Structure 1
Amino acid sequence: MPDYPLIDDHGLIGDLQTAALVATDGSIDWFCAPRFDSPSVFGALLDHGRGGHCRVRPTAGVFNSKQLYFPDTAILVTRFLTEAGVGEVVDFMPVTSATTAVATHRIVRLVRCVRGRMTFELDVAPRFDYGREPHETHVTESGVVFEGNRTAMTLNLIREPDDERLGRFVVDAGDVHAEVALEAGQTRGLLLETGSAGPVREIRVAEAWRLFDETAAFWRNWLSRSTYAGRWREMLERSAITLKLMTYAPSGGLVAAPTAALPEQIGGERNWDYRYTWVRDASFSVYSLLGMGFTDEAAALGSWLRDRVDEQSDKNNGSGPLHIMYRVDGSTDLSEETLEHWEGYRGSAPVHIGNGAAGQLQLDIYGEALDSIYVADQHGIATSHHGWLRTCDLVNWVAGNWDQPEEGIWETRGGRQNFTYGRLMCWVALDRGIRLATAHGRPAPLESWHRQRDAIYNQIMERGWSPIRRAFRQHYDTDVLDSALLRMPTVGFITPTDPMWTSTLAAMDEELVTDSLVYRYDPAASPDGLRGSEGTFSLCTFAYVDSLARAGQLDKARVTFEKMLTYANHLGLYSEEVALTGEQIGNFPQAFTHLALIDAAITLDQRLDRAGR
């Protein structure tokens, strides 16, 4: 088994339509184009030998590397330290268009020698369409063209006039290799351009630095709109930039992660494609972004949600008027397939692309969607008359369909159950519909909505409560606990100091929490239709912090939060889960985790301020 970098040994760059992962060894080993959910160009993260990469690193056999973001930007700097000198690779993607989908995307890789001397080796080995589309390679004086039947990419050299040192490429089986020797103060590099078969052009170093300056200015101007001034500003601003990087600007859709098939257990089968927009994640992000003052992004996500509501149809195989997830452009073709020719990250097969859970019935998404509409309304992002009619349609559907088994928030593949969390969020959908109608005097069947909302409340209290565990349970036919229910006080279903809730929190603390990290549930006690186990779920840990803070357990909440911050990678990024070793596993970085971090920090800030601490 070849060596794979750790999942958390990566940084993320992007241009608001797609993104790339850069490892600490200078390798771009994941990049899809022209969109997040397009086939890969570089995919070594999922198959070291056959996935493809673009690597820039010292030729020296021994080197140390460090990574950092250029302050307040999404520009990534990978520094290499050797006995002969210090060098760095500066990676970024210029933002081409914030509103229009484009076919061409650029990755700039500036290669610098900072001190002494350093020789860099460059290897560019694209593998179009997950390695299924062959290509021809054409070398010119100014760069290289990689051309497949449907996909193309150019490599444009960044160098000074009459400098031939970066033009001597060796072609090997369609890949290109080169070396460049630099002295202190010298800069050369590459500009990779997908969606273009040429012409290749030579780029001056000064022009490349202008692109750097423009990209840095874009991110700093965007971040300056943040209104957060709390205790964890650096972490929250990095989370906000990360969420922005995972937003498909032409539609406003937020992908759950820019990666696919990274395992929840090394060697396991829980390897899902997260390059899509979940209604749940989009809904939560409205609340988080508004909490930091990013109203434009929240409005764009709200618009994305409203578009899905406008398209609502009951022809979704019984899963309701909303799909649980969509492609970034709002389409619903997410057919799942397996890449049999790829071995998976560190041998974690199967490699899934597409997502077979797309047709599931998950009742909670209606509460999350309605809650985001309600929160947006409170911040002055109003719903039109047409939008209100579609909102009423959603609430009416929930009123008539909430009392049925479903697959649940965790997308289990072990059959439908009467999940307590699904019922909880149906209560939220009806409650927020009632509040919106009442606040604005809009027409609605309020008597029916009140009746169904109260019926859900009573059912949860009677059947969602486990007298044995003295806690709210995962579903009505089990006594298993579920950390999704940490949102019960957050959405206002129960007060955070209610004895039933404090008892539930104590039970979760005993069963699901290990040294501040939180599991979703115990898969051994609640079979989910899949083999293997998983790590602690990072979003649940941050939700646990939120619940502790609301319950007045401020010391415990703060210690738990601070501990969780130590599990971030060297750049402040989080994947989906944390393994027993502390290694990050699952798709990376995960939007849900960064959303939950923002929410937990804002809640904890507020409670600490009130307590004068």
Structure 2
Amino acid sequence: MTTHATEDARPDTPEIDDHGVIGDCETLALVSNLGDIDWMCWPRADAPSLFGSLLDPDAGRWSIQPESATHRTQQFYLSETNVLVTRFQTEDGIVEIDDAMAMDGPQRLVRRVRCVRGSVSVRSEFVPRPDYARAAVDWDSDTDGVTLQTDSLRLRLRASAELTLDRDASLVTCAERLDEGDELAFDLAAADTDRDFDDDTEVAEHVAATVTETIDYWKLWTAGGTYRGRYRSAVERSALALKLLTNRSTGGMLAAGTTSLPEHIGGERNWDYRFVWIRDAAFTVYALLEIGHDAEADAFIGWLVDRVDECDQADGSPLTPVYDLDGNARIGERELEWRGYENSRPVRIGNAAADQFQLDIYGELIDSLYIFDRRSRGLSLDTWDKIRLIVDYVIERWREPDDGMWEIRSEPQRHTASILMCWVAVERAIRMAEFRGRPADLVAWRRARDEMHDTIRTEGWNDELGAFTQTLGGDTLDASILLAPLVKFVDGRDPRWTSTLDAVVEHLAHGPLVDRYDTDRYDDGLTCGEGSFTICSFWLVEALARAGRVEEARRSFDQLLGYANPVGLFSEQIGPSGRQLGNTPQALTHLALISAAVALDEALDSEET
């Protein structure tokens, strides 16, 4: 639950932490604890924005707030759901807003305002700015609400009270005084697919029914999970966040729901994460299967298999690191003339990482297919042929420098973690071939696997540092090496590994928070620093648990959970001051949280028996 003391003056930009997220598995919206929807794309999360004031004050918002002075706000989810409540404690009484997106029927966003105590005047300001605030809007108003239309969008806003349209300002307002028990309802939906309402009462009833149906949907979905460990609240919230990031039409999972939230305030590390990364594949499949959400794991595997079945070496790499939800790899990268979050520019749409050469993606891809292959009916013969093609490609190219897991924008290097994941690709493919008696050049595959292993143990090891290094022959650390025991490259208690673990803790960790690398010593092509990576921080927890340092792992995990925002969500990074940075909610962080919770439960159970 968020608790936030407020002043009469409206803050220029809310903290990234101060947002809950709602969605319908097609799009999602960020709702600040001051009642603003300040980021939402329509009709899909990777579509152009409708509200974008989080990144630019002129990019649109939908605000609902009491008109009297507010002493405190709170924000929380209804238990086991993605229905968000924002509470205002004012000098005149208490008001709550229920925000939800319908999970059945036409796409719609509903907002229900109710006066819990006292008598409070409430004002709504609906300020859409479609197509990243570039589109001209035509407005229409009648007894059934207000309609906005662009060349590609037609939406209708309805309310249980009178709406006032200001065409010149492209603004729709609604002001109403609510006594205890009174409600004010709003409904936003596609104009061409929705039915008319007879009167204001019917709008209120319809919104109330939508909220109830949405609550029921999410409670039923959450009940399908099987995790019963010590960290159920955090795992369930992570699962609910991941579900919001999973597109129900394609099965792809977005890396995050936003673009260009900065990794360094005022800096250039601002990226668009509204795409699907192959890198996330194995983490996604493992985490979802571990907590019983098999349908989502199967859907994502279906999305991955489609990419594998489409792969072709004729134009170079058989796969690219990043795709859109539909599986298109040509996504480009452009900049908007926006102010940026707290003047952090540029604001980017699209992601040039799709054009990079990243070897690690093949390990994560094949590891996810291996997990699925062992737990299911298996992969098709045609898909296996494509996997063989990919493995042969990896064996041919693994000695080359690449852009690495972290998608550096400097010169390619021979990253140790990239070779580690190449080893995973070949090792898992060998297992898949042997498990089902599939055809494969196992002699060549085993030779390559062993050469990769030897290369990491010799060229990827630094005696003076006492650790596996960021690059072959290098003397710097990278938190991606924490994956080594997780992918079974090395036992968690191997002397070389425990020495590496100590080095990571000494040089990259700040308590439970872990930097991915030292930006002062490693040139990644960017000019500013960054925060600690929440993903790496949860990887450290799992590595500690696997090393037998269970109490240390538990303490770190408990501390990390305290860095979640007040409604349990994580962005990509935690800054030096403890504030959340980067895009949110971050899928890979919540996946790593689930994996760490499962590993920690297993380690604690083992100690207790």
Q: Deviations over 1:37-84 (max 9, x none)?
A: 100000001002x11001111011334211111111110111111121
Tell whether the 8 Å contact from 2:164 to 2:172 is kept in structure 1 after alignment: no
How has the CA–CA distance of structure 1 residues 560 and 580 changed in structure 2, closer, same or farther, with 3 Å as cutoff?
A: same
User: Could you tell me how far apart the structure 2 residues matched to 1:184 and 1:2 are?
Assistant: 28
Q: Aligned equivalents of 2:191 and 2:240: distance in 1?
A: 26
> TM-score, normalised to structure 1's length?
0.95
Quick one: distance in 1 between partners of 2:349 and 2:403? 20
Residue equivalent to 2:556: 560
SS in 2 for 1:606: helix
Shift of 1:349: 0.8
Question: Is contact 1:549–1:604 with CA below 8 Å preserved after alignment?
Answer: yes
2:186–2:207 contact (8 Å) kept in structure 1: no
CA distance in 2, matches of 1:84, 1:62: 9
Q: CA deviation at 1:393?
A: 1.6
Q: Distance in 2 between matches of 1:367 and 1:12?
A: 32
What whole-Å deviation, never above 9, does each CA across 1:438-487 have from its counterpart, x for those lacking one?
A: 11111111111001000101111111111221100011142110000101
Alignment of 1:70 onto 2:105: no
Query: 1:210 aligns to what?
Result: 209
Q: Residue 185 of structure 1: which of 178, 181, 185 is its match?
A: 181
Q: Which position in structure 2 is the counterpart of 1:392?
A: 388
Q: CA deviation at 1:384?
A: 1.7
Deviations 1:357-395 (A, max 9, x none): 111111111011111111112222521222222222211
Match of 1:335 in 2: 332
- Provide the residue aligned with 2:530 in structure 1: 534
Structure 2 equivalent of residue 80 of structure 1: 88
Q: Which residue of 1 aligns with 2:239?
A: 240
Q: Aligned runs of 1:371-450 on 2, under 5 Å?
A: 371-450=367-446
Partners of 1:56 and 1:409 in 2: CA distance: 41
Contact 2:270/2:345 (8 A) holds in 1: yes
Secondary structure of residue in 2 paired with 1:443: coil
Q: 1:226 matched to which residue of 2? A: 225
How many Å separate the matches in 1 of 2:205 and 2:420? 57
Q: Does 1:113 align with 2:112?
A: no
- Equivalent in the alignment of 1:147: 149
Q: Please list the CA deviations of residues 393-422 of structure 1 after superposition, one character each: whole Å capped at 9, or x if unmatched.
A: 211211222111100000000111000000
What secondary structure, in the 3-state scheme, does the structure 2 residue paired with 1:489 have? Answer: helix
Matched-pair contact (CA < 8 Å) for 1:114–1:185 = yes
Q: How does 1:248-397 map to 2 (within 5 A)?
A: 248-316=247-315, 318=316, 320-340=317-337, 342-397=338-393
Question: For the residues of structure 2 that align with 1:333 and 1:397, how far apart are their CA atoms?
Answer: 21
Deviation at 1:206, TM superposition (A): 2.1
Secondary structure at 2:118 match in 1: strand
User: CA–CA distance in 1 between the matches of 2:476 and 2:192?
Assistant: 54
Match of 1:455 in 2: 451
Give the drift of 1:209. 1.6
- Report the CA distance between 1:208 and its aligned residue: 1.6
Equivalent position amino acid for 1:336 in 2: E
What amino acid does structure 2 have at the position aligned with 1:58? P
Report the counterpart of residue 13 of structure 1 in structure 2. 22
Distance 1:321 1:195, change over 3 A: farther
Counterpart pick for 1:135 among 110, 134, 137: 137
- Tell me if structure 2 keeps the 8 A contact 1:41–1:126: yes
* TM alignment of 1:574-593, pairs within 5 A: 574-593=570-589
Q: Could you tell me how far apart the structure 2 residues matched to 1:568 and 1:22 are?
A: 16
Cα distance, 1:195 vs structure 2: 6.3
The answer on whether the counterparts of 2:111 and 2:207 sit within 8 Å (CA) in structure 1 is no
Gaps of 5+ in 2: 1-9
Most deviating of 134-143 and 402-411: 134-143
Shift of 1:200: 6.0
Give the Cα–Cα distance (whole angstroms) in 2 for the partners of residues 467 and 478 of structure 1: 11
Residue identity in the other structure for 2:216: A
Q: Out of 557-566 and 214-223, give the one that drifted further.
A: 214-223
| Aligned equivalent of 2:6 | none
**Kept after mapping to 2: 8 A contact 1:255/1:328:** yes
Do the aligned partners of residues 416 and 436 (structure 1) sit closer, same or farther apart at CA in structure 2, a change above 3 Å counting? same
Amino acid at match of 1:15: D
Offset at residue 205 of structure 1 (A): 1.9
AA aligned to 1:136 is D
Count matched residues: 597
Q: Structure 1, residues 128-183: CA drift from partner, whole Å, max 9, x if none?
A: 110111212222223211122322221012x2xxxxx4344555511112201111
Corresponding position of 1:101: none
What is the DSSP-based 3-state SS (H/G/I as helix, E as strand, rest coil) of the residue aligned with 1:64? strand
Distance 1:206 1:9, change over 3 A: same
Report the more deviating stretch, 490-499 or 538-547: 490-499
Task: Indicate the percent of aligned positions where both proteins have the same amino acid.
Answer: 43
| Alignment-derived partner of residue 500 in structure 1 | 496
